[in-house]
Amino acid sequence: MAKAIHSMIRVLDEARSTRFYGQAFGLEVAERLEFDTFTLVYLSNAESEFELELTVNKDRSEPYALGDGYGHLAFSVDDLDAEHKRFQEAGLEPRKIVEFSPDGKLLARFFFVADPDGYQIEVLQRRGRYL
């Protein structure tokens, strides 16, 4: 059986990105690997073994084109309303909370926020399959 262990995104500014993911989701640097032309930074927290890998290409100065194939990362939280308020107070500019209720039955409550490189992140209320 396969186990999902990380997802990788390319970022321009390591400090800016680690600060955002730390402030927004409590992710801390689990490991940092320095190479001649790039740096890999693995971020994690105590909630999950899954990690976010940041790749910082040292010769890159232009923002990455995210293209139309990128979807989003997702995090679940215990109290969506409190997290949304915390994001607002921290200046992270979360979008409005959405209640997704197809057929009148609540499936999910969530909001989106963009990281410093424009990657979209969904923040979901823990319930049902979104634990």
**The two structure tokens encoding residue 31:** 């490991």
Residue 110, SS3? strand
Q: How many Å apart are CA 112 and CA 99, to the nearest integer?
A: 12
pTM of the predicted structure, to 2 decimals: 0.90
Tokens of 35: 């190479």
For domain 71-131, the question of CATH label 3.40.50.150 is answered with no
Domain boundaries, the chain: 1-59, 71-131
User: What is residue 113's predicted lDDT score, i.e. its pLDDT?
Assistant: 97
Q: Of the CATH numbers 3.10.180.10, 3.30.70.260, 3.40.50.620, 3.40.50.920, which one belongs to the domain with range 1-59?
A: 3.10.180.10
Same CATH topology for 1-59 and 71-131?
yes
| Mean per-residue pLDDT of the chain | 94
Q: How far apart are CA 53 and CA 31, in angstroms?
A: 9
pLDDT for position 10: 96
Confidence (pLDDT) at 128: 87
Catalytic residue among 51, 53, 83, 122: 122
**DSSP letter string over 111-130?**
EEEE-TT--EEEEEESBTTB
Does the active-site annotation cover 31?
no
Residue 90's nearest CA partner among 38, 23, 43, 26 is: 23
| Residue 1: how many other CB atoms lie within 10 Å | 2
Residues 6+ apart with CB under 8 A from 88: 94
For 32-64, how does the pLDDT look when each residue is reduced to its tens digit (9 = 90+)?
999 999 999 999 999 999 999 999 999 999 999
